[in-house]
A = this chain, B = another copy of it.
Amino acid sequence: MLRIMIEIKARKEAASRTARLDAVFAALADPTRRAIIERLSRSEARVTEVAEPFHMSLNAVSKHIRVLEASGVVERHRKGRDHILSINTRSLDEVDGWIERMRCYWEERLDAMERLLRELKKDHRLGRKDRRHGSR
Q: Does B95 contact A99, Cβ atoms closer than 8 Å?
A: yes
Question: Which applies to chain A's interface (DSSP): helix, strand, loop or mixed?
Answer: helix
A99-B92 contact, Cβ under 8 Å, with A18-B31, A26-B25, A34-B21: yes
Chain A 6-36 per-residue mask, 1 if CB under 8 angstroms from chain B, else 0: 0000000000001001110110111100100
**Copy total for this chain:** 2
Interface band, chain A: 20 to 34
Q: Does B29 contact A105, Cβ atoms closer than 8 Å?
A: no
Q: Does B99 contact A41, Cβ atoms closer than 8 Å?
A: no
Q: Chain B contacts of A25 at CB under 8 A?
A: 25-26, 28-29
- A83 contacts B by Cβ under 8 Å: no
